[in-house]
Amino acid sequence: MSGKKQVRESLASKIASSLKAGVGEVWRNNMGKAGLIIIVFIVIISIYALATLPPGLPDKWKNRLAWSEYPTSVPPEWVRYFGVPVAEHKIYINPQTSYSGIVTPQNIQGALPYYANALGLKQTIVGYVQVYSVEYRLNDPAFPTGILTLFTPINNSVVIVNGVERQVQVLPILVVQRPDGLSIVVAQESSALKITDLAFKNMSVTADLFWRQYIDYFAQQGVTINMTETDARGFATQMIFGKPLGGKEFEPLTGTYRLHLIIVYAGAHPNAIQQAITAGQLGFEKIKIVVKGNAYGISGTDNMGRDLWLAILYGFPVALAVGLFAAVASVIIGLVIGVISGYYGGLVDEVIQRFIDVLSNIPILPILILIGVILQEKPGVGPWEKLFIIIGFLVILGWGGTAIIVRSMTLSIKAEPYIDAAKAIGASNARIIFRHIIPQILPYAMASLVFSVPGAIITEAGLSVLGIEHGLPTWGKILADAQANRGIAYKMWWWILPPGLMLAITGLAFVLLGLAIETIVEPRLRRR
Amino acid sequence: MKGEALIRVEDLKVWFPVRRSIVDLLARRPQLYVHAVDGVTFEIYRGETLCLVGESGCGKTTTARAIVRLIDKENIAGGRILLKPSEDVLEEVKKIQPDAVAEEGYVDMYKLKGKALLGVRRETQMIFQDPFASLNPRFRILDILEEPLIVHKIGDKEERLEIVSKVLETVKLTPPEEFLPRFPHQLSGGQRQRVAIARALVLNPKILAADEPVSMLDVSIRAEVLEVLNELRDKMKMAILFITHDLALARYVCDRIAVMYLGKIVELGGADDIIQNPLHPYTQALINAIPEPEPENRKKIRKLRIKGEVTSAVNLPKGCRFRPRCVAYDENPHIQPRCEAEEPGLIEERPGHYAACWLYEKRSP
Ligand SMILES: Nc1ncnc2c1ncn2[C@@H]1O[C@H](COP(=O)(O)OP(=O)(O)OP(=O)(O)O)[C@@H](O)[C@H]1O
Ligand SMILES: [Mg+2]
């Protein structure tokens, strides 16, 4: 008896073994192997992306202000390995204080010599002073693209002196001490501020502060710089990190730069301020100094400074979701309707076929553009919802092809004598459809599913480029932005190539897999 | 013939509409039909094998399919098929669907529906011509044989395995364990046809339609399959409709033979009677075409007792449908007006031996 029992397989083990056999067959096919490897990679990257990307990325992507710390329109960092000089992008968080104490006109030379001798200083410093200093090494002859200072003050701006509350005010000044010994005041608030107001300020460099003195200084050295104030504004970082060659020419000055962020406190007696700072009641939770490089990350940035790598990463799970969802849904619908149409025939068949005729003659693009416009107007719809509405329409308008093929396959299977045999037994229509017909069609359905994945992904990307946007940072969205800024984007290969390549590779992977499955289910196509 | 008829086919007509083109529709041409079965009447008794012989396209398969209700209702152009199910099935039908019960314990096959039909289907099974196509290639033999039991909710897993194994033994596929896990493509043609027979037997049917069950098989394995069928008829007292176009085979297998031409039975009688004394000119032509066993006689060129080509089943001639091919028509001028005017019915020329030919018209008293 036990011998007979082994004959029986459970449904689960049947499915598992046929799946295993299927994957094995695909693996033995070269195209299938290549496709599978790429798809496994895509899946791994997608999982990695979902696990590591911040959940707020879609919102951040739309927010211009969120990207101010990033250099704009710079290529990826690895271009240095192809001989492109790269000024490193550096972020300094909570740098060391190199000085804190009371500065007077008498001791300033000793305490802050780089300030006392800097080009562009507006006033001499008196009061309690803290200096945060960092070093920046410029190894390659390349210009960094900016310096930005960001503050997170402790939420308090008063000190109590002899029982009287006093507002503390601060004046932040950034001095760059160059490798050639020259110091320049590159950034400074125009007047002292309440310390808590610094939370809302990003301090960036401006040539307004130093340009005249800079020109004079180099004129004495025999280099004539021809620049107006407005000219100078566009050359701030070149002037800071460069050696003037005359005219408007600069060459990068390599070496070690020291950046000194000087915070001058005023509004109360320096001793009282010092006490409050030492007690931790006044000052900063966090200070961040960013030297923007001329290259960034794995994939560079776009014209808004957005890190393209994040969107490339984000694009993986979205592409998979779009492709698989659209393909699975339209193939399932096509399979069910095709089988019903072919199996029941007659009026049902006629109605379904005419409906498909109508459906496949509806122009998809205008409808999707219409839907896109309607969605854009609707405020309450989230980006994922928009995406799935778009996919939904792709599915609704896209199942017809599968249904037609499945119908014709059903017609030929239905004519097989074993279907008659099943009917003679008394098997129900449901049983015949699910046990006899669908298992025959399933491999073809798998192939057509795999084949329709790239179509869906590329259509979604295409819609983004056409301006039908859901707002998620995807490959299509990157391309859409590049398209919108085509004037500058055509010089920025890192903006256009990677998303394009990702689309192509993903599409290729599924096509390879589809071809492999097709040769397996249809051995006549088998190549040697 | 003695005993009770398990199945009675009464003036059965199966017509298939000819598909019309748009042009036909626009021109309002009338709907044409293929008269696949065009007024067939016969009975099969318990424990009897009736052979249906005739050339290709004469409607043999259609008749068999009609009996097991594989023909759509809308293609039944007339007549009825009555079936005598076992007592319990009959009781069930009486309860669920009394309107499908005909006289004397018969049920009307084409009035049945739903559960009542399912019950009656246990009593009628069919073996198909092509053992290569009648088994689902994705099913193991166990799945194939178990399916009828699952559909009819018979037994639990263990019991079903028991039944299936026993049936495999009946068709001499032993040991069953060796065949159960195999797929059809792992069997020989003869073994497959025996699996198909086993599937038909699993439900213990009373009526079996076997559509050329051995025509696709090697001559060497025909005998064993036929042996199995003969044994079944005798042991299980089944009524078997055996379809073949081979008269020699029919004589070996059948009790009675019905000869079919273009959707009509033209001669019906005992197997030996028909072979030795064919009445209808068409039967005579068929028997004439059987190869002679004696090598000497084989060399003699025999005169073919038939002319022309098979007439279309769409546009039937007026009068006797065999007339365009009939040699007797040419040879017997006196009956010609009859042949041209009217279709002959079955005429009992000898007891139990009928022919549909005006040659045997009884001179009216
Ligand atoms: N489903 C159908 N639709 C339309 N015509 C059909 C259908 N089934 C059978 N026919 C036609 O009915 C006629 C009889 O067919 P049937 O299959 O019964 O012949 P047969 O006697 O079994 O022939 P063979 O010996 O070749 O198997 C043929 O002309 C055939 O084309
Ligand atoms: Mg046939």
Q: Give ipTM to 2 decimals.
A: 0.88
Establish if A20 belongs to a structural domain.
Answer: no
How many A/B residue pairs have CB atoms within 8 Å?
71
> Residue A232 is inside which H or E element, if any?
helix A229-233
- Dihedral angle of Cα A358, A361, A366, A370, to the nearest 10 degrees: 10
Instruction: Give the confidence band of A92 by pLDDT, cuts at 50, 70, 90.
Output: very high
Q: Is B59 in the pocket of ligand 1 (CB under 6 A)?
A: yes
> Phi/psi class of residue A150: alpha, beta or left (left: φ > 0; alpha: ψ in -120 to 50)?
beta
Last-in-domain residue among A237, A269, A292 = A292
Residues sharing a CB contact under 8 Å with residue A242, sequence separation 6 or more, in sequence order: A143, A250, A251, A252, A253
Mean per-residue pLDDT of chain B: 86
Following DSSP, what letter does each residue of A147-159 receive, concatenated? EEEEEEE-S--EE
Residue recorded with tokens 């209808």: B280
Query: What is the residue range of A281's domain?
Result: 85-292
A502/A419 same-domain check: yes
Q: Nearest-CA distance from A426 to chain B in Å?
A: 6
User: Does ligand 1 lie within 6 Å of residue B61's CB atom?
Assistant: yes
Is a pLDDT exceeding 90 seen at residue B66? yes
- What's the sign of the alpha-carbon dihedral A52, A56, A60, A62? positive
- CA B264 – ligand 2 centroid, Å: 15
Identify which of B15, B19, B35, B61 to mutate to test ligand 1's pocket (most ligand atoms within 8 A of the CB).
B61
Atom nearest to B65 CA in ligand 1:
18
* B267 pLDDT higher than 90: yes
CB of B51 within 6 A of ligand 1: the answer is no
Q: Are residues A461 and A318 part of one domain? A: yes
The neighbouring-strand residues paired with B77 are: none
> What is the β-pairing status of strands B49-53 and B239-243?
parallel
Q: Which range among A9-18, A351-360, B69-78 shows the weakest confidence by mean pLDDT?
A: A9-18
Q: How far is CA A177 from CA A174, A180, A184, B234, B292, in A?
A: 10, 8, 7, 114, 120
Q: Is-contact A185 A173, C-beta < 8 A?
A: yes
Closest residue by Cα to atom 8, ligand 1, is B62
State which amino acid sits at residue B1.
Answer: M
Residue A59 included in any domain: yes
* Ligand 1 centroid to residue B324 C-alpha, Å: 21
The per-residue DSSP string of A370-407 comes to HHHHHHHH-TT--HHHHHHHHHHHHHHHHSHHHHHHHH
Asked if B147 and A428 come within 8 Å (Cβ–Cβ), the reply is: no
Measuring CA to CA, how many Å separate A217 from each of A120, A220, B252, B261?
11, 5, 124, 119
**Res. B45 pLDDT band, cuts 50 70 90:** very high
pLDDT digits (tens, 9 = 90+) for A401-439: 889 999 999 999 998 899 999 999 999 999 999 999 998
Confidence of residue A239 (pLDDT cuts 50, 70, 90): very high
Q: Which residues are registered as beta bridge partners of A202?
A: A150
Residues of B in contact with A5 (CB under 8 A): 161
Q: Between chains, do B65 and A420 touch, taking CB under 8 Å as contact?
A: yes
pLDDT of residue A47: 95
Is residue A14 a part of any domain in this protein? no
A483 exposed, middle or buried (CB, 10 Å; 0-12, 13-18, 19+)?
Answer: middle
- Distance CA(B15)–CA(B20), nearest Å, equals 15
Q: How confident is the model at residue A1 (pLDDT cuts 50, 70, 90)?
A: very low
Nearest chain A alpha carbon to B210: A421
Give B 300-359 residues with CB within 8 A of chain A: none
Instruction: Answer yes or no: are the C-beta atoms of A293 and A144 closer than 8 Å.
Output: yes
Distance A412 CA to ligand 2 centre (A): 18
The predicted structure's pLDDT at residue B303: 64
Nearest to A426 among B151, B165, B180 (CB): B151
Residues of A within 8 A of B136 (CB-CB) are 416, 418, 422, 436
- Which residue's C-alpha comes closest to atom 31 of ligand 1? B57
From chain A, pick out residues whose CB is under 8 angstroms from the CB of B161: 4-5, 7-8
Residues B276-292: tens digit of each pLDDT: 889 898 998 888 877 66
Q: Are residues A112 and A166 in the same domain?
A: yes
Report yes or no on A76 lying in a domain.
no
Count of other CB atoms within 10 angstroms of residue A69: 15
Alpha-carbon distance A405 to A413, whole Å?
A: 12
Could you give the number of structural domains in chain A?
2
Local structure of residue A307 (DSSP, 8 states): B
A101 and A53 in one domain? no
- Mutate which of A17, A412, A425 to test chain B, going by most B C-beta atoms within 10 A? A425
CB contact residues (below 8 A), chain A span 296-325, against chain B = none
Segments of A163-305 assigned E as strands? 164-167, 169-177, 183-188, 193-194, 202-204, 242-246, 249-252, 255-266, 284-292
The interface residues of chain B toward chain A in range 127-166, judged by CB-CB distance below 8 A, are 128-130, 133-136, 138, 140, 142, 147-148, 151-152, 157, 161, 165
Tell me the pLDDT band of A361, cut-offs 50, 70 and 90: confident
Residue A455 covered by a domain? yes
Answer whether residue B301 shows pLDDT above 60. Answer: no
Return the structure tokens found at B27.
């021109």
Q: Between A243 and A20, name the one with better pLDDT.
A: A243
Q: Answer with the one of A238, A270, A292 that is the final residue of a domain.
A: A292
B365: confidence class by pLDDT, cuts 50, 70, 90: very low
Q: Which of B124, B108, B129 is nearest to B12 (CA)?
A: B108
Backbone angles phi, psi at B344, to 5 degrees: -75, 145
Percent of chain B with pLDDT over 70: 95
Three-state DSSP state, A34: helix
Query: What per-residue confidence (pLDDT) applies to A517?
Result: 86
CA distance A75 to A212: 33
pLDDT of residue A6: 54
Cβ(B267)–Cβ(B355) below 8 Å: yes
Residue A256 has pLDDT above 90, yes or no: yes
More confident residue, A301 or B232: A301
The pairing of strands B264-270 and A146-153 is unpaired
How far away is chain B from the Cα of A505, in angstroms, using its nearest Cα? 36
Q: Is residue A6 included in any domain, yes or no?
A: no
**Cβ A7–B140 below 8 Å, yes or no?**
yes
CB–CB contact B117 A431 (8 Å)? no
Q: What whole-number distance in Å separates Cα of residue B81 and Cα of residue B73?
A: 12
Boundary-marking domain end, from A234, A257, A292: A292
Most distant CA atoms of chain B, gap in Å: 70
With beta carbons under 8 A apart, name residues in chain B contacting A426. Answer: 117-118, 121-122, 148, 151-152
Mean pLDDT value across residues A108-117:
88
Handedness of CA B90, B95, B100, B104 (dihedral sign): positive
0.95 exceeded by pTM: no
| Distance from C-alpha of B328 to C-alpha of B306, rounded to nearest angstrom | 9
pLDDT of res. A41 = 95
Is the same domain home to A391 and A513? yes
Q: Determine the pLDDT at residue A236.
A: 92
Interatomic CA distance for residues A16 and A5, integer angstroms: 19
**Using H for helix, E for strand and C for coil, what is the string for chain B?**
CCCCEEEEEEEEEEEEECCCCHHHHHCCCCCCEEEEEEEEEEEEECCCEEEEECCCCCCHHHHHHHHCCCCCHHHEEEEEEEECCCHHHHHHHHHHCHHHECHHHCEECCCCCHHHHHHHHCCEEEECCCCCCCCCCCCCHHHHHHHHHHHCCCCCHHHHHHHHHHHHHHCCCCCHHHHCCCCHHHCCHHHHHHHHHHHHHCCCCCEEEEECCCCCCCHHHHHHHHHHHHHHHHHHCCEEEEECCCHHHHHHHCCEEEEEECCEEEEEEEHHHHHHCCCCHHHHHHHHCCCCCCHHHHHCCCCCCECCCCCCCCCCCCCCCCHHHEHHHHHCHHHHHHHHHCCCCCEEEECCEEECCHHHCCCCC
A528 pLDDT higher than 50: no
Q: Provide, as residue numbers in chain A, all residues whose Cβ is less than 8 Å from the Cβ of B174.
A: none
Cα–Cα separations (whole angstroms), residue B215 to A159, A244, B222: 110, 101, 8
Indicate whether A282 and A312 sit together in one domain: no
Q: Ligand 1 pocket, B62 CB below 6 A?
A: yes
Note whether B157 and A8 are within 8 A (CB): yes
Identify whether residues A285 and A313 lie together within a single domain: no
The percent of residues in chain A predicted with pLDDT above 70, rounded, is 97
Residue A315 and residue A276 share a domain: no
Q: Which of B44, B129, B32, B50 is nearest to B82 (CA)?
A: B44
**Bond preceding residue B365 cis, omega within 30 of 0:** no
Q: Most B CBs within 10 Å: which of A2, A7, A438, A440, as the mutation test of the B interface?
A: A7
Cα B256 from Cα B271, distance rounded (Å) = 5
In a domain, A93, yes or no: yes
Place of tokens 């449901």: A430
Degrees (nearest 5) of the Cα angle B179, B185, B189?
A: 80
Higher confidence at residue A303 or residue A5? Answer: A303
Structure tokens at A110: 């000793």
Per-residue pLDDT at B293: 64
Residue B234, pLDDT above cutoff 70: yes
A488 and A407 co-located in one domain: yes
How far apart are alpha carbons B148 and A423 in whole angstroms?
10
Whose CA is closest to B264, among B54, B94, B73, B28? B54
* Shared domain check, A506 and A368: yes
CB distance A239 to A252 below 8 Å: no
| Chain mean position to CA A130 | 37
pLDDT at B80: 92
Task: For chain B, say whether A431 makes contact (Cβ under 8 Å).
Answer: yes
- In A484-525, the DSSP E strands lie at none
Hey, are the CB atoms on A424 and B135 less than 8 Å from each other?
no
* pLDDT averaged over every residue in chain A: 88
Contact in structure between B258 and B223 (CB atoms under 8 Å): no
Quick one: pLDDT band at residue A38, thresholds 50, 70, 90? Answer: very high
> For residue A416, which residues of chain B lie inside 8 Å, CB to CB?
133, 136
The rounded Å distance from CA B289 to ligand 1 centre is 23
Distance CA A454, CA A511 (A): 7
A416 CA: distance to closest CA in chain B (Å): 6
Residue-level pLDDT at A527:
47
User: How close is the nearest chain B Cα to the Cα of A418, in Å?
Assistant: 4
Question: Is residue B150 predicted with pLDDT exceeding 90?
Answer: yes
* Residue of A154, A171, A397, A196 lying closest to A282 (CA atoms): A154
How many Å lie between the centroid of ligand 1 and the Cα of residue B26?
28
Residues A66 and A56: their CA atoms lie apart, in Å, by 11
The pLDDT of residue A4: 46
Query: Do A52 and A189 fall within a single domain?
Result: no
**CA gap B245, B214 in Å, rounded:** 11
A214 with A281, same domain? Answer: yes
Nearest to A400 by CA among A452, A454, A440: A452
- If phi over 0 gives left and psi between -120 and 50 gives alpha, with beta otherwise, what is residue A94? left
For residue A143, the 8-state DSSP code is -
Average pLDDT of the residues in A335-364 = 90
Chain B residues in contact with A7 by the CB 8 A cut-off are 140, 142, 161, 177, 180-181
Top mutation candidate among B60, B134, B216 for ligand 1, by most atoms within 8 Å of CB? B60
**Set of chain B residues whose Cβ sits within 8 Å of the Cβ of A418:** 133-136
pLDDT band at A377 (very low <50, low <70, confident <90, very high): confident
Mutating to test ligand 1, I would choose from B13, B14, B16 the residue with most ligand atoms within 8 A of its C-beta, which is B16
Q: Nearest C-alpha of chain A: how many angstroms from B169? A: 14
pLDDT band for position B302 (cuts 50, 70, 90): low
Check pocket membership of B56 for ligand 1, CB cut-off 6 A.
yes
Q: What is the CA radius of gyration of chain A?
A: 33
